[in-house]
Chains A and B, each alone.
Chain A
């Protein structure tokens, strides 16, 4: 029974992998280098799965599409040269936050929760507003001269750790306290009170 449900997912992942590999090979064949081809593919996967996150009906599938989106973003980090950040993205987002969200979905969705109405009543103004946001950001980016460097700098782990533990050591410590407070607060908020509603 479990295999019966897993087979379409595995087949879908295999199809996605084959299609992206063929697309990368075709882009390289058409004269682009590997970084460009991979950038286009990761960008397409990221935007496509992001759209699936906000539009799909079944919220479990939204969560799974979110995992795909974070994975593609980790690939883009690798293209940018931030390999350690890509590893952190995979560990924290795909490994921790996605599992947390999937557990929360499991705890809060009831059978009779109406899944037919995915969007609020003001979904169309929201769509218009977000399209306007995208257009404004794109115009601002294109119109500005950022004075960017011609070449990219790869970020090695030792350079990153030097910066993190010399210049940014106070924020590092503050964030550790923040994480502890978040853990305690999460446990306090989510535990059920004795005698309260179960």
Chain B
């Protein structure tokens, strides 16, 4: 089972669906960021699986390189996202996104 591409892709799809549920349903801004990290990891898993089951060893290395870059971009995204959450928390005193309603007033 671990020797087929389908198993990895279905696993990645499951993790992506879990992350999307967390992003849509949680109230806490940091929980939403954690769900985004889950989704990014799911995409990474699919990239690495596609590379590892590719035509030759160079394609496998390319899949790993792209996944490394996704990890780096995810780190940058987490930094800026958490800084934004902390900045909003300093003004609104709550981490819950459904109370961020300054633009509707």
A residues with a Cβ closer than 8 A to B are 32, 35-36, 38-40, 43, 46-47, 50-51, 53-54, 59, 62-63, 66, 69-70, 73, 76-77, 79-82, 84-85, 88-89, 92-93, 96-97, 100-101, 104-105, 107-110, 113-114, 117-120, 122-123, 126-127, 129-131, 133-134, 137-138, 141-142, 146, 148-149, 152-155, 159-160, 162-164, 167-168, 171-172, 175, 178-179, 181-183, 185-190, 192, 196-198
11 A-B pairs with CB atoms under 8 Å apart are A54-B19, A69-B41, A101-B33, A108-B29, A137-B12, A141-B10, A153-B54, A167-B62, A168-B65, A186-B80, A189-B87
Nearest CB on A from B66, distance (A):
8
Nearest CB on A from B1, distance (A):
5
B58 touches A159 (CB 8 A): yes
Instruction: List the A side residues contacting B31 at CB < 8 Å.
Output: 53-54, 59, 62
A141 touches B95 (CB 8 A): no
Contact of B84 among A73, A149, A189 (CB under 8 A): A189
A160 touches B7 (CB 8 A): no
Most A CB within 10 A of own CB, among B18, B84, B94: B18
Closest to A35 in B: B2
Which B residues from 1 to 51 make CB contacts under 8 A with A?
1-22, 24-31, 33-35, 37-38, 41, 44-45, 48-51
A126 touches B13 (CB 8 A): no
Which B residues from 43 to 71 make CB contacts under 8 A with A?
44-45, 48-65, 67-69, 71
Instruction: List the A side residues contacting B28 at CB < 8 Å.
Output: 59, 118
Which A-B residue pairs are the 3 nearest by beta carbons? A137-B13, A54-B22, A126-B24
